[in-house]
Amino acid sequence: MFPTKDTAQKSQNSNSPRTRRLRQPIPTTFVQFALAIAALTAPKVPTLTAAKYDASLVARVKQVLPNSPGACVLAIDGGQVVFKQGFGVADVQSKEPCTPATNFRMASVSKQFTATAVMLLVDRGKLSLNDTLDKFFPGFPKYGEKITIRHLLTHTSGLPEYETLVPKGTTLQLDDLDVLHLLMDAKAPLFPAGEKWEYSNSAFVLLGLIVEVAAKKPFHQFMADEIFKPLEMNDTVLYQRGFNEVKNRAYGHSKKDGHWVRDDQSVTSATRGDGVVYTSLDDYQKWLFAHAQRKILGESSHHQMFSPQVKTTRGDSSYGFGWFIDEYRGTRRVYHNGDTRGFRICVQAFPDRLAAILLQCNGEVEEDMTKVGERLADVLIFDREQSLTTKPVTANRTHPAASP
């Protein structure tokens, strides 16, 4: 069962000034949603195909999709899949169509996978949320003695953002050790650990390295052996060039002279803990099932991940471990976006409705992905019955993901 408010509060450091500023933990969090969607694995839920969806609903979805060469959309409501379909192409060169089996780079949505790996090792007694950086990285500047794993998970570490430390003119991709060295050369933090919230890719790169140290195996291999393979997420990888490959791969794209061109990698595209998981709609469903059925984390770790740990500077949202938490249309929401070279991703879940949406785009969408996700949630969850009965307005879009 879920921890109560009182139990959840005891699990936090009540003497911390930062903790006192937090709003009360949600008594029933995303785990409630996850438990309910376990019904998706039951035989009564059919595998749906595009042909089985109401034409007006498909038209509504196309209408709200952003400009992108391709897109994949998953929607769950009431614990059942109500929409799962690909649009457009995975690669403008090959013209391969997007399908529910197409693997997109999840960008910062990958942080929930990194956080899960950390909490799995906490459950196994190999890590503590109070472990500090000096335990894992000898020679790290003295301020690392004050930065804990909990600070890294909640974006309250004060670490400098490594992207700002990359020397001008760098053309070779950075790996995690390059990031570690850049941070070790930075002699002061941006602010004392725990003083405030500031989104940090640096923190999650270090978390990936910490998993390697604690697990005594490469991060990508740990994810494959301990999470992806046991959950039969057979096409999901934490991508590391030369060590694994992405099956059914969607390539990223950007606009050049008004046309989409493949544009998939940047100098920072090879760092792992902050954003290199590739997965599909089919496999991401399994990821939800795993949390639903407690196949990965214990109750306490699961609860902490999906409960508010710190207030953010982004509207009224809080942050758990790898998830933002707020409300939409009066309903609790846990969500995260991903934004990297050639890809835009959005996942939003609504525990009270036992609902969620996932949108994967392989183009550099210029719109706010949170707003795009809300439009999809409106069409596929909150206003779905209306979408089925109301004739859609013709979309003013010419890109493959939105056109019939």
The residue among 73, 102, 83 whose CA lies nearest residue 278 is 102
DSSP assignment letter at 329 = T
C-alpha 186: how far from its chain's center? 28
Three-state helix/strand/coil letters over 195-241: CCCCCCHHHHHHHHHHHHHHHCCCHHHHHHHHHHCCCCCCCCEECCC
DSSP assignment letter at 382 = I
CA distances from 83 to 60, 99, 204 (A): 12, 12, 32
SS3 394: coil
CB-based contact 401:90 (threshold 8 Å): no
Per annotation, catalytic residue among 108, 200, 202, 280: 108
As given in the structure block, the two tokens for residue 387 are: 């979408």
How many Å from the N-terminal Cα to the C-terminal Cα in the chain? 45
Element (H, E) at 375: helix 369-377
- What's the rounded Cα separation, in Å, for the pair 160 and 205? 12
CB-based contact 395:80 (threshold 8 Å): no
- What's the rounded Cα separation, in Å, for the pair 113 and 96? 27
- What's the rounded Cα separation, in Å, for the pair 6 and 151? 23
Q: Helix 176-185 crosses helix 201-215 at what angle (to 10 degrees)?
A: 110
SS3 370: helix
Does residue 108 have an active-site annotation? yes
Q: In this structure, are strands 343-350 and 355-361 parallel, antiparallel, or unpaired?
A: antiparallel
- What's the rounded Cα separation, in Å, for the pair 94 and 85? 20
- What's the rounded Cα separation, in Å, for the pair 133 and 146? 8
SS3 182: helix
**For 205, how many CA atoms within 13 A lie in the half-sphere containing its CB?**
24
Which residue has tokens 């934004």?
339
- Enzyme catalytic residues: 108
